[in-house]
Amino acid sequence: MKVAIVTDIHHGKPSHTKRSDTAMDQMAQFEEWVRGEKPDTVIDLGNRINDKDAATDRVLMSDVNDAFSSFNVPVHNISGNHDRYHLSVTENAEIMGQPMMSEVIDTGSWQIFLWRAETKITWSETHRGFDLPESDYLWLAHQIAAAEKPTLVLSHVPVSGHSQIGNYYFQENQDLSTYPQNFRVRQALSLTRVPIVWLSGHVHRNTVTQIDGIFHLTQQSLTESFTTGGEPAGAWAALELASEVSWTVKGLDPLACILPLHTKRWVPPLQPFSHGRPQQR
Ligand SMILES: [Fe+2]
């Protein structure tokens, strides 16, 4: 099973280091690559647009949908915080022509969870950031508990809690890089009986992190430039799911890695050494 992944297209007006002005050109190049590479499916991990207002966002989102409609393979979309700021889940679904509920794609030897958890960011005096609805947590927890084959989880927002040091957007805004409830999600993952690999967008960096025995990846944005000297990264990836996982990110911020397929076998951690040096065993 070969999956092509693109994330954080950010079509719209350039903002900070996002070269949003190049989004449609980059999508055309991605489409050409897909035509040659012939993946089984294309999956977009969200933040298709730079939001402005509802009317503008509908136009921008439609542009992105038009770009995807020329792809000759099935396309699945997940929504990110910018997609959700002015547009509802239903509006995203209408424009992109598909339901925006979490779903499972069974590929035979693998399964893929499109975890379309809420990604709206709230900015109020009492709370800023994401807030994971219990229903989204429960959907995932139930699916993980029932999983009987290797599983790829795809989401907009990462849950690993990985370092944001050096990240242009998130070093000083770590709380906006993930869900405040990410620990609960990792607890649900820790009960797995099958190999799990998790891939997200949102943080505009390629990262590979192993947390609690599970590999978490984040993929560079299609149009980000803070890691590429001002040029748009042009990042998209081939992800092959087989007896191991191979992830190859193309563009100006490339990365390739092969992950072994293993089920978590880690021993639970020791208690805190709060009473001095622990007895040597
Ligand atoms: Fe983004």
Residues 6+ away with beta carbon under 8 Å from 141: 188
At residue 280, does pLDDT exceed 90? Answer: no
Give residue 190 CA to ligand 1 midpoint distance, Å.
Answer: 27
The bridge status of strand 41-44 relative to strand 2-6 is parallel
Phi, psi of 215 (to 5 degrees): -80, 130
End-to-end Cα spacing for the chain: 46
Residues found in the chain: 281
Structure tokens at 91: 């509006």
Q: How far is the CA of 3 from the centre of ligand 1 (A)?
A: 20
Euclidean distance between CA atoms 239 and 112, whole angstroms: 12
**Lowest-pLDDT range of 96-105, 128-137, 256-265:** 256-265
| pLDDT class of 266 with cuts at 50, 70, 90 | confident
pLDDT of residue 176: 98
Mean pLDDT calculated for residue range 240-265: 95
Find the 12 Cα to ligand 1 centroid distance in Å. Answer: 12
Give the DSSP letter string of 42-99: EEE-S--B----HHHHHHHHHHHHHHHHT-SS-EEE---HHHHHSS-HHHHHHHHTS-
CA of 268 to the centre of ligand 1 (A): 35
82 CA distance to ligand 1 middle (Å): 8
Q: Which domains does the chain have, with CATH numbers?
A: 2-260 (3.60.21.10)
What is the CA(194)–ligand 1 centre distance, in A?
Answer: 30
Confidence band for 275, pLDDT divided at 50, 70 and 90? confident
In the reported structure, the alpha carbon of residue 22 is separated from the centroid of ligand 1 by a whole-number distance in angstroms of: 15
Q: Is the pLDDT of residue 183 over 90?
A: yes
Please tell me the distance between residue 38's alpha carbon and the centre of ligand 1 in angstroms: 26
How confident is the prediction for the chain on average, in pLDDT? 97
**pLDDT > 80? residue 281:** no
Considering only CA atoms, which of 111, 127, 113, 119 is closest in space to residue 87? 119
Answering whether pTM is above 0.75, one says yes
Distance 272 CA to ligand 1 centre (A): 37
pLDDT of 262: 84
> Please, which residues have CB less than 5 A from ligand 1, an ion?
8, 47
CB atoms within 10 A of CB 235: 30
Query: What pLDDT shows up at residue 120?
Result: 98
Reported in sequence order, the residue ranges of the chain that DSSP labels E, i.e. its strands, are 2-6, 41-44, 75-77, 103-106, 111-114, 122-123, 128-129, 151-155, 196-200, 207-211, 214-218, 237-241, 244-249, 255-260
> From the CA of 221, how far away is ligand 1's center (Å)?
7
% of residues, the chain, pLDDT over 90? 94
CA dihedral sign, ordered 251, 257, 262, 267: negative
Distance (Å) from CA 235 to ligand 1 centroid:
13
pLDDT digits (tens, 9 = 90+) for 106-124: 999 999 999 999 999 999 9
Question: Residue 223 is encoded by which pair of tokens?
Answer: 């149009």
